[in-house]
Amino acid sequence: MKIKCFHLIFGIIAFVIFISCNESPDLTGSWYSNNRPGWQLIISKTGDTYTILQKIEGQHLSFSGKYINGIIEIGAPSIGNPTYSEDTKKITWMGEEWDKIQDIPLQKK
């Protein structure tokens, strides 16, 4: 009986650790380039797949992929994968840093 309880408790703890390690941050919303005004990413999520709508210089492109260890794996080797930093709360992609709209500090006038 004690062994069964130990296995049950161990299984629950392992499950909780597994779930907490695989949670992805909320990347959904609008992101703007730090260096290029008008460059925008709109990120949505369905299930465990992120979709990125890229709006750059009048062009709209769409990419999709799963978030794995800080990277949205979009499978486009020519432009790389978007990388999210928990420390800076920014996405780095295509040589740009992107800020989420609600994370951009308001400028005082």
Question: Domain-by-domain residue ranges, the chain?
Answer: 26-102
1-27: average pLDDT: 61
With cut-offs at 50, 70 and 90, classify the pLDDT of residue 109: very low
Give the HSE-up count for residue 92: Cα atoms under 13 Å, Cβ half-sphere: 7
94-101: average pLDDT: 93
User: What is the pTM assigned to this prediction?
Assistant: 0.73
Report whether 15 contacts 26 (CB < 8 A).
no
pLDDT over threshold 70, residue 37:
yes
Q: Which fold has domain 26-102?
A: Lipocalin (2.40.128)
Distance CA 98, CA 37 (A): 11
Higher per-residue confidence, 56 vs 109: 56
With cut-offs at 50, 70 and 90, classify the pLDDT of residue 87: very high
